[in-house]
Structure formats: structure tokens, C-alpha cells
A and B are shown apart, each in its own frame.
Chain A
Amino acid sequence: MKVAITTQGPDSASPVDPRFGRARFFRIVDTESGQQTTVDNAEGMNAVQGAGTQAVQALARLGVQAVLTGHVGPKAWNALQAAKIQMYSVTSGSAEAACQAFLAGQLSMLTPAEAPGHA
């Protein structure tokens, strides 16, 4: 299973980025092989609009099945659901820590009530 973590820096020690569509980087972790890659999201970060849908599009192409992030806007929420990507809440700590917590089953799923009113 491939998991994406929104991060503020390119490596696994970087802190998580609470924003989804406008996250600086996506750290993609393949939980089976342990392989890790980083996707630069400069385009999404600077997109005038539709950053969320663009990010979902990118993650869907990569075959990601879960994201670990802070906040998801309503459009991105809907797009992630359509793409059958699960959302888990993580607000602080490093990408590595978030990944470990996820594997240990300590992260809770984001619920629609946590989808704030911004896109």
C-alpha cells in the first residue's frame, strides 16, 4: 500500500505540513517495500485555485491509497473520496514519525466534520 504524507521539507525528518493541496512536498511511502520518494508540490502550492483537485490527481496517478495530513478542504475531500484515498489525521511531528504512527494504527481517520470550510 502506498501512503502519502504532506511535508514541509523533502526528507523523512521534515515536519508534516498540515495543508493538503498546498503542502510543500508529498512524501510517498510504499509500506510493503519500504521505498520512499518525494514529490515536489510547488505547482499545487502556487496554484491560484484547484490546488486540492490537482494534488488528488497527482496522488491518484501514483496509486496512493492513503494520505496523512492535517486539513482537507471540501473539494479535495470529495475528490479524495472519489479516488478512494483514505485520509488520516496528523498535525505535528516528522514525516517519519507520522508514518510509524500510521503503521502502528495510532492515527485516526479524518471525518467530514473535520473538513473545514476552505478549499
Chain B
Amino acid sequence: MGPARSDKGQWVRGWGLAAEEGVAAEAKAVKAGVGVAVEVSAAAVGAAGRKEKTSGRQTLQPKSSLVENQDALLAVRLAIASGKGGTGKTTIATNLAMRLAHHGQEVVYVDCDVEAPNGHLFLKPDEVREYPVNRLVPQVSQERCQHCGDCGRICRYNAILCLAERTLIYDELCHSCGGCVRVCPTRAITEIPHFVGVVRIGIAGKVQFVSGTLKVSEASSPPVIRAALQAMPPSDWVILDAPPGAACSVVETLRDCDYVLLVSEPTPFGLHDLQIALELAKTLAVPCGVVVNRAYSSMAELRELCGQAQVPVLGEIPDDLAIARAYSRGQRIIDVVPGLHRTFDHLLLRLLEELQPNVLPFRTRQDLEQAIYANDRMEATNLNEPGRLMAT
């Protein structure tokens, strides 16, 4: 696919993945198979409509109707983040997505860790389509340039060097803001698309899969993250696998999220990074909860830290050799470690308690709760023991 133009025939600023209707439509087609009339305007409304969530969910129409599509655009956006890499973000994110899908929810998993995406190793998506992501970088026509220096003065990123007889642009410093194009009195600057990465869209079982990959040598990940976020098909839940750390790529991912699950380890390093992540969530004013990975014993320090920040601990994934083994083989831990799916179900129930009513449509909440409890009862009957989740 070539670089995209929006309806008005202008370059889409910041990324060149075909105008969002195109990709969202394709993605919807992937999901629904054939025959679903794609409502393009619904995708366009998405961005504006997302913030106007209401607690009452339209339930008059059956699935895959227009109303359902619009409704689905109000998906719960859940980010899985951590202050450091290797804490198990992807493990939590992929397994949570699988579990939500198991309970009949429509889920999109988005791998926003574009510098080192690894969600595909666990979800193993099929029918993967690739779309190039471009951003616009200015180019100076040396014939037209009068060397006035205006472009260099407006550029906040020091990407332009205006010399007496030459004007140079440093692509890798440019943030594609378009400022220089606007100020140039002789229109000597044009913008050309610059390939920065790819977005992949596929399907993994019942989970929609989206992942961004930054081109090696490219420094700035936000354009690819934005492209991945815009490529999301509609759903009930969006699970964002955030990049590690607290840099701009994380901010880009957490922006507009309804809730952040911070994954931490009860180690001194883990605690230090959790502290940073907690501060970031606070700065961005996103409500958050903590999931402890490789949990053991009482973890007094971690609980104290969460207590001080008034952030709940929503779940604990035990420190278990079987889990590590499954992980290293690229297996989904809920598939291979017995009983672990209950840990994730329990985490989901705790999460439902935390989510504000305006974030989670009542119907979604009800459906999910019922599905989890029904599943639990069924398994309990099979094993001839009382339901475990009910008791906790």
C-alpha cells in the first residue's frame, strides 16, 4: 500500500497508514468475515465519541449491527505497563486477553512495545496483514531557498541547520510537526513520506491482534504507536501492551486509557520501578492497580508502597517454575499451568470492581461476571468441590 492521503487529498500528518477508515474497515472485515456492511462513519466518530461514555449500553440491536459497532468503539481501554522491562507485561496482557475472549468478550490486543514487540510469540496470530507506517519529513529545494533562516528558527527540535548557502534537515531529529513548511516564505520546503515501521493486524483465536514494529535505526516510536492504535478494530475491550519505562512512548500508550494495570515484581529493582510507574500514572491521571508477578511470601514492602499511593493490588501471579518453563517455550501460561486461569479470572473480577461505571458498560460487566461465575461453577462441579472464586 502506498502512503495514505486523507479525504481532502492531503498527507495524513504523522503517519501514513491509510486513512483510518481504510484500516479500521479492513480490520473489521478480518473480524467479521464476509458480509458485514462496514460503517465507515462509525470509525470516524470513534475518536470523538470515545470520551462520551455512558453507563447505559444500547442493547436493542443484535451483534454486528451498526449500533453494536458504535457501541464497541467505546471499548474499555486497559493498558498493561511497568517501570522496567521483563516484569511480565506481555504474559499478563496476552493471558488476560485470552481469558476475556474465553468469557465471550470481544477483545483487541495491541502490542505497543514497538521497539521490541513480542505479543505475537504468545498469541501466534493468523491472517496477518502488514501496513507500512510513514511519517512526513521536510525536504528543502535548494533552488527555491533564499536562506532566510526562518525554518531553522521555528524548529523546536534543532532539526534544521540554516547555513549561508545551504539549508540542511536532519530527518532523525525531525518530529514531523510541519512548522517549517508553514513559515517558509518561498515554499521551498515540501514534505515527503519517510518509512518508520509497520503495523500488523491479525487474529489469534478469538482475540483481535494488532502490533506495531518500529523500523530498526528509527528513534521515535510514537508515530508507530499512534498508527497501531488507529488500526484497532472495534471491540468491548482493548488490551494495550505498553512499552517498558516511563518515556514518551509510554505516555503515548497510556493517553486516553481507562485503567492501567502496573505489573511489578517484589524485588528491590521491581519496587523502584513500580514507584516510577505509579508516579507516571498519577501524572497522567489514569486510575491504576497493581498485579504482582513472581509473587512470593508477604511482600510487605510492595504492599506498603501501594498502600501509600492508595493503589490496590489486584492480583498475584505466583513464582512458579512451570510458568517460567511455559513462558520460555512461547506457551500461554493459562493453557499449560493448571489452575492459573482462575488467577486471571479472579484478577478480572477485581478489575471489574475497580472500573468506574462510566468506563464499563453495565451490560459488559454483567455478561463478564456471569460468564466467569458460570465457568467457575462448571469446573467446580466437574471437580466436585465448592466454587473457588465465590469464596474469595
Contact, CB under 8 Å: A57 / B158? yes
Contact, CB under 8 Å: B157 / A57? no
Q: State which of B162, B163, B164, B170 has its C-beta within 8 Å of the C-beta of A50.
A: B170
Please indicate the chain B residues that have their CB under 8 angstroms from the CB of A53 in the complex: 158-161, 170, 173
Residues A80-105 near B (CB distance < 8 A)? 82-83
**B144 is an interface residue with CB less than 8 A from chain A:** no
- Contacts A49-B157, A57-B162 given: A79-B168 contact, CB under 8 Å? yes
**B255 is an interface residue with CB less than 8 A from chain A:** no
- Contacts A50-B170, A50-B173 given: A83-B161 contact, CB under 8 Å? yes
Please indicate the chain A residues that have their CB under 8 angstroms from the CB of B172 in the complex: 75
Please indicate the chain A residues that have their CB under 8 angstroms from the CB of B51 in the complex: none
Contact, CB under 8 Å: B173 / A83? no
**A16 is an interface residue with CB less than 8 A from chain B:** no
Task: For the complex, give the distance between the alpha carbons of A102 and B173 in Å.
Answer: 33
**A29 is an interface residue with CB less than 8 A from chain B:** no
**B166 is an interface residue with CB less than 8 A from chain A:** yes
Task: For the complex, give the distance between the alpha carbons of A70 and B168 in Å.
Answer: 24
Residues A55-69 near B (CB distance < 8 A)? 56-57, 60
Secondary structure dominating the interface of B:
loop
Task: For the complex, give the distance between the alpha carbons of A54 and B158 in Å.
Answer: 6
**B138 is an interface residue with CB less than 8 A from chain A:** no
Secondary structure dominating the interface of A:
helix
Against B, the Cβ 8 Å flags (1 = close, 0 = not) of A39-51 are 0000000010111
Nearest CB of chain A from residue B64's CB, rounded to whole Å: 47
Contact, CB under 8 Å: A75 / B152? no
- Contacts A54-B158, A57-B152 given: A75-B163 contact, CB under 8 Å? no
Please indicate the chain A residues that have their CB under 8 angstroms from the CB of B161 in the complex: 53, 56-57, 60, 79, 82-83
Between A51, A53, A75, the greatest number of chain B beta carbons within 10 A of the residue's beta carbon is seen for: A53
Measured CB to CB, the nearest residue on chain A to B168 is A82
Nearest CB of chain B from residue A83's CB, rounded to whole Å: 5
Contact, CB under 8 Å: B166 / A50? no
Contact, CB under 8 Å: A75 / B168? no
Between A47, A49, A82, the greatest number of chain B beta carbons within 10 A of the residue's beta carbon is seen for: A49
Nearest CB of chain B from residue A109's CB, rounded to whole Å: 20
Measured CB to CB, the nearest residue on chain B to A60 is B163
Nearest CB of chain A from residue B315's CB, rounded to whole Å: 37
Q: State which of A47, A54, A60, A79 has its C-beta within 8 Å of the C-beta of B164.
A: A60
Task: For the complex, give the distance between the alpha carbons of A54 and B157 in Å.
Answer: 9
Task: For the complex, give the distance between the alpha carbons of A50 and B160 in Å.
Answer: 9
Residues B150-193 near A (CB distance < 8 A)? 152, 157-164, 166, 168, 170, 172-173
Please indicate the chain A residues that have their CB under 8 angstroms from the CB of B168 in the complex: 79, 82
- Contacts A82-B166, A82-B168 given: A50-B152 contact, CB under 8 Å? no
Measured CB to CB, the nearest residue on chain A to B173 is A50
Task: For the complex, give the distance between the alpha carbons of A50 and B219 in Å.
Answer: 13
Contact, CB under 8 Å: A83 / B163? yes
Task: For the complex, give the distance between the alpha carbons of A41 and B340 in Å.
Answer: 57
Contact, CB under 8 Å: A75 / B162? no
Contacts A53-B160, A82-B166, A83-B161 supplied; 6 other A-B pairs, CB < 8 Å: A47-B158, A50-B157, A51-B158, A56-B161, A57-B158, A79-B161
Q: Which residues of A contact B (CB under 8 A)?
A: 47, 49-51, 53-54, 56-57, 60, 75, 79, 82-83
18 A-B contact pairs sorted by A residue (CB < 8 Å): A47-B158, A49-B158, A50-B158, A50-B159, A50-B170, A50-B173, A51-B158, A53-B161, A53-B173, A54-B158, A56-B161, A57-B161, A60-B161, A60-B163, A60-B164, A75-B172, A79-B170, A83-B163
8 A-B pairs closest in CB distance: A50-B158, A54-B158, A50-B173, A53-B158, A83-B163, A79-B161, A53-B161, A60-B163
